[in-house]
C-alpha cells in the first residue's frame, strides 16, 4: 500500500491533509459506504478497514489518479479492477468537529454508495 500526506491550506483558511491510500478489493468488495464522495461507513473486517487509513468524513477527491471534479466515485469504478488508489482530503482535527454537523446532514439527505459485495452492493 502506498501513502503520502500533504499539508495544505485552502483559500478559505482551512487546513487539510491529502493522502493517497491504495486498497485491494477483497472477497466482499472494498468495504466503504460513500455519500456525495464522502466516507460515511467503513465495514468492519473489510479491506478498507484493514488498511487503517480511512476515516469517516474523508472526502474522496480522486480515484487512480483521476480527479473526480463534479463526478461521483461510482463513475470511476470498474468491476474487473482488483485494486484502487483513493486520494482523500481530510480536515485537520480542529475542523472535524465543525464539519460533523454538516456531515450528519449529508448522510440523511443523499443516496449511499456501498463499495461492498453482497445482497445490496452497488459494485459487483
Distance between CA atoms of residues 39 and 55, nearest Å: 7
Q: Which of 14 and 38 is assigned the larger pLDDT?
A: 38
Length, in residues, of the chain: 124
Q: Which of 49 and 124 is assigned the larger pLDDT?
A: 49
Side-chain-facing half-sphere of 88: CA atoms under 13 Å? 27
Answer yes or no: are the C-beta atoms of 27 and 117 closer than 8 Å: yes
Q: Which of 108 and 78 is assigned the larger pLDDT?
A: 78
Q: Supply the pLDDT for residue 90.
A: 87
Amino acid at each position: 500500500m502506498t501513502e503520502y500526506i500533504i499539508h495544505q491550506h485552502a483559500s478559505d483558511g482551512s487546513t487539510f491533509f491529502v493522502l493517497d491510500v491504495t486498497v485491494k478489493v477483497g472477497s466482499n468488495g472494498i468495504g466503504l459506504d460513500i455519500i456525495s464522495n464522502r466516507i460515511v461507513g467503513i465495514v468492519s473486517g473489510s479491506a478498507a478497514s484493514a488498511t487503517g487509513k480511512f476515516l469517516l468524513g474523508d472526502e474522496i477527491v480522486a480515484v487512480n489518479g483521476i480527479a473526480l471534479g463534479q463526478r461521483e466515485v461510482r463513475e470511476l469504478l470498474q468491476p474487473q479492477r482488483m485494486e484502487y488508489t483513493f486520494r482523500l482530503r481530510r480536515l485537520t482535527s480542529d475542523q472535524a468537529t465543525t464539519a460533523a454537523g454538516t456531515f450528519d446532514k449529508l448522510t440523511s439527505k443523499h443516496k449511499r454508495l456501498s463499495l461492498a459485495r453482497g445482497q445490496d452492493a452497488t459494485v459487483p
